[in-house]
Structure 1
Amino acid sequence: MSTLEQHIDVGVPIGKAWDSLHRVENYPRFVDGLRNARTQAEGRAHLGIEAGGRSREFEAEVSDREAERVMEWHTTGAPNLTGSFSLQPIDESHTRIQARLEYEPGTIRDTFGGPKGFAQANAIERLVRSDLEHFKEYVEQER
């Protein structure tokens, strides 16, 4: 299992960042390759992804530890992906968002195609970094 952690500081209060992360239907605005997303009952989300020339549909379970400002998620089927977003206030108008992704490299390659080994890790790191940058733009424009 591989683990990737990235963080970004955004220029909005923690409450605004937290609320924006919970609007799953807006994820296609800042997550590369996500065609559609919708919230379903009982903490579930449906995601339509296009990556590596392949279209896939996924279900994910989402849970919150609101007091700690941690949102955790995991896919309910293949591929087995697990992740979290942890939010920490920097000051009244700035928040640090820590993204964590756990994945099996072989499963990612089988599901989405792409490079192997170190090149794959670099590609996933670039993708997560880009998505965080897009989230920053998205949440800061919504002021």
Structure 2
Amino acid sequence: MSTLELHVDIGVPVDTAWETLHRVENYPRFVEGVRGARTEAGGRAHLDVEAGGRAREVEAELTDRGEHVMEWLTTGDPAMTGSFSVQPIDRDHTRIQARLEYDPATVRDIFGGPKGFAQTNAIERLVRSDLEHFKEYLERG
């Protein structure tokens, strides 16, 4: 398993960032490859994802842990787990910490893409880009 941790500082209050993370239906606006998303009963989310030219449906369970920590895990392939931690910097600024645990070989088998270290680099670039898109989405209002 590989673990990736990245963060981005955003110019919005912590509650705004926290509430936006919970609006799964807006994920296509800032998460690369997500074509559709919806919240389902029981803290579940359904995502229609396209990556590496392949379309897939991904189901995940979302759970709030403590103050401003949301954990998630996929319920099928690819097996991934992660979390978002939303921390106030000051009244108008927030740090979003993203953590992702995944098996690069499994992700490659399901979505295609490069092998080995290149796959890990591609995933890191994608997550970094998604965090920047989230920042832009929030700061635009």
Task: Give secondary structure in 1 for the equivalent of 2:95.
Answer: strand
- C-alpha distance in 1 between matches for 2:70 and 2:9: 17
Specify every segment of 5 or more residues in structure 1 that has no aligned partner in the other structure, as ranges.
Answer: none
Identity %: 74
Specify every segment of 5 or more residues in structure 2 that has no aligned partner in the other structure, as ranges.
Answer: none
Matching residue of 2:76: 77
Matching residue of 1:38: 38
Matching residue of 2:130: 131
Superposition CA RMSD, Å: 0.7
- C-alpha distance in 1 between matches for 2:120 and 2:103: 11
- C-alpha distance in 2 between matches for 1:32 and 1:55: 13
The count of aligned residue pairs is: 141
How do residues 81-120 of structure 1 correspond to structure 2 at under 5 angstroms?
81-120=80-119
| TM-score (ref. length: structure 2) | 0.98
Q: After TM superposition, give the deviation of residue 118 of structure 1 in Å.
A: 1.3
- CA deviations over 1:35-57 (Å, ceiling 9, x no partner): 00000001000000000010000
Q: After TM superposition, give the deviation of residue 68 of structure 1 in Å.
A: 2.2
Matching residue of 2:26: 26
How do residues 47-62 of structure 1 correspond to structure 2 at under 5 angstroms?
47-62=47-62
- C-alpha distance in 1 between matches for 2:130 and 2:99: 13
Q: After TM superposition, give the deviation of residue 78 of structure 1 in Å.
A: 1.2
- CA deviations over 1:65-123 (Å, ceiling 9, x no partner): 2x421000000111101010001110000000000000011100100100111111111
Q: After TM superposition, give the deviation of residue 58 of structure 1 in Å.
A: 1.1
Q: After TM superposition, give the deviation of residue 128 of structure 1 in Å.
A: 0.3
Q: After TM superposition, give the deviation of residue 136 of structure 1 in Å.
A: 0.2
